[in-house]
Structure 1
Amino acid sequence: MTDMVAGEPNDVRLKYAAGQWIVQVMENGKITRHLFNVQAVAECYAEFQRIRLGLAGKPPIREDECHRREMPDFIINDVLDLTECSDRGIVTTLVDKRGVRLRLHLTVVTSALLCERIASALERRYGE
């Protein structure tokens, strides 16, 4: 379903109605609605549309709200083959030596940055 609304900024909205998840994408005055039966799939689609349109993820994180604190090392023993979608992107589960699980939420930007930092650290540690 497509509608036109002139002069409105690009936006992505997600809502639940009549037993379905609706992702409404407004791009250059054109509104498109996409229907999903599964919430996680709708959330993932909405997040990728936000990224594509250059919009902030939902909810936005302000730097002054982030409380940095020293955390103990989390030594990864396994990466589970369970990938899900969240309101922020993709979720993967890491497991330490004691079986403690850590769910890691990644967007396209943060996953690229994480891969870049890991590659740089491995190069420094092991050379080429």
Structure 2
Amino acid sequence: MTYARWPRTLDELRQMSRSYGEAAVAEARWGAVSVWFMDGPKPDELSNSREQAWDAADMVRQHQRYHLRWPRAGGKQWPAPALDGLDPVSRQAAERIAAETLADWERAGCPRLSAHSIKQVFQCLLTFPPFRAAA
């Protein structure tokens, strides 16, 4: 069996990231969605307005970073996510729009998710001392 030094797929990223697997996969996916937004998805690729989709995706990304304990540069903790402060109806709407945006991105072929972007997420994790210490 050959062991790859760097993950190339989300499944490999999840496995190689050990207890940070779900956080790493979420970071890779939302990172690719963010770059896709910078490229400017076609309006017909989005189920919601660009502004709604961007805001909801950003709020869910920040929420997942915080609650899945994705490492932050300098070892600082992420600020409390805005999603946690919303009333239940607004929170559900933001989560629904983010889920639709993620589905839109998947239907578009997961643009900007590549072996290189997955490797970058893993390399970021390698800079986190508790992750390195657990190896």
Normalised-by-shorter TM-score class: under 0.3
- Flag the structure with higher strand content: 1
Q: TM-score, normalised by structure 1?
A: 0.27
Query: Which has the larger Rg?
Result: 1
